[in-house]
Amino acid sequence: MLQRKLQHLASMLAVSAVAAAGLTLANTKPVLAEFEIQEADIEKGEVELEYRGAYHWGVPKATDENENANDLVQSHELELQMGINDWFLIQVTSGFDQPLGENLQASSVEIETEFAMIKREGDGVALSFQLGYGQAINNHKHLNDAAPNDFGFGPIVEWAEGSFLLTLNPLFTKQIGTYADQEGLGFEYGWRGEYDFTKRWGVGVEMFGEIDDLANADPFNNQVHSIGPTLFINFGGDDDNKVKAGDDDKEGNASGPPDMKFSMNVGVQFGLTDATSDTALKFQGSLSF
């Protein structure tokens, strides 16, 4: 089963690479992963396909005084992920976005890994560590404005109590390559508080933010920060074995392939600063098997 999934994964990656190479590439600035909350759960052999997207209103224009403004009208990410074993997974993500006054364009390709350090059984704490590399896609006709590549690393922390799950995603970033323009480390964060009323749906609050350079941090109002409510819906899986939002399999059963599951969440983010869009409608959908 694992060998077949690895072969399937390799084929999909090859197709993605060919498709990306055929795109007309345009210059873009690096942006925060589009409202992503990375989870600490890893399951051997599980393959997950995920889409994340957002549309923004009240988009601020990047200026010399507010150069870090999140000037995106819309953005999209397609991600392919696979658990190599119960402690390690790998994922590949392609990004597309539309800055203010421009067309939708390819922006980046990322490869990330996640290592489980503390596994949770039922309530309690889970801890994983993620690291990844992002390759910016640039139009070489505009090298003066080209985006740098970057490297990111940080923990994934989960705390579960009954039907409540808190997830923290602090991430440190470092620009690398010819176009790097960063004295210290950058910092991105996302956190989610989720309460599941049933096995199928729940509600929560999510917050996201970004500081481009901790060594030369801009005033809060010139940083990107947003917060808002989210609705969570889950389909598929074995109802008899499925447990609450924070739970793993308490019996430790590992027989048979993973169930096919589809989950989605829809939310609204409200900007807290002048560098953030006034509102953003976000959507995330994932299929795992």
Q: According to the model, what pLDDT value does residue 247 have?
A: 53
Averaged pLDDT score across all residues of the chain = 84
pLDDT of 142 > 50? The answer is no
Over residues 11-28, the mean pLDDT reads 37
Q: How far apart are CA 230 and CA 274, in angstroms?
A: 23
Is the separation of the CB atoms in 111 and 95 below 8 Å? no
Q: According to the model, what pLDDT value does residue 98 have?
A: 92
Is the separation of the CB atoms in 189 and 157 below 8 Å? no
Residue-wise pLDDT tens digits, 265-279 = 999 999 999 999 999
Q: According to the model, what pLDDT value does residue 25 have?
A: 31
Q: According to the model, what pLDDT value does residue 33 have?
A: 57
Residue-wise pLDDT tens digits, 146-158 = 678 999 999 999 9
Q: How far apart are CA 93 and CA 49, in angstroms?
A: 10
Cross-strand pairs, 125: 159
Q: According to the model, what pLDDT value does residue 179 have?
A: 85
Is the separation of the CB atoms in 65 and 104 below 8 Å? no
pLDDT of 240 > 50? The answer is no
Share of the chain above pLDDT 90, in %: 66
Q: How far apart are CA 110 and CA 103, in angstroms?
A: 21
Q: According to the model, what pLDDT value does residue 238 have?
A: 55
Q: Kindly list the structural domains of the chain, giving each domain's residue range(s) and its CATH number in brackets, ordered by start.
A: 2-288 (2.40.160.40)
Is the separation of the CB atoms in 72 and 53 below 8 Å? no
Q: What are phi and psi of 221, to 5 degrees?
A: -70, -15
Residue-wise pLDDT tens digits, 36-49 = 999 999 999 999 99
Is the separation of the CB atoms in 129 and 154 below 8 Å? yes
Over residues 206-211, the mean pLDDT reads 96
Q: pLDDT category, 181, cuts 50, 70, 90?
A: confident
260's CB contacts (< 8 A; 6+ apart) are 236, 237, 287, 288, 289
pLDDT of 251 > 70? The answer is no
Q: According to the model, what pLDDT value does residue 242 have?
A: 41
Over residues 242-264, the mean pLDDT reads 61
pLDDT of 14 > 70? The answer is no
Q: Residue for token digits 């953003």?
A: 280
- Kind of pairing, strands 105-118 and 88-99? antiparallel
> pTM score, two decimals?
0.82
Q: How far apart are CA 227 and CA 275, in angstroms?
A: 14
Q: What are phi and psi of 3, to 5 degrees?
A: -65, -40
Q: According to the model, what pLDDT value does residue 63 have?
A: 84
Tokens representing 122 are 């039922």
Q: How far apart are CA 207 and CA 118, in angstroms?
A: 24
Q: How far apart are CA 36 and CA 41, in angstroms?
A: 15
Q: According to the model, what pLDDT value does residue 21 have?
A: 35
Q: How far apart are CA 97 and CA 105, in angstroms?
A: 6
Residue-wise pLDDT tens digits, 87-104 = 999 999 999 999 998 899
Q: How far apart are CA 109 and CA 13, in angstroms?
A: 12
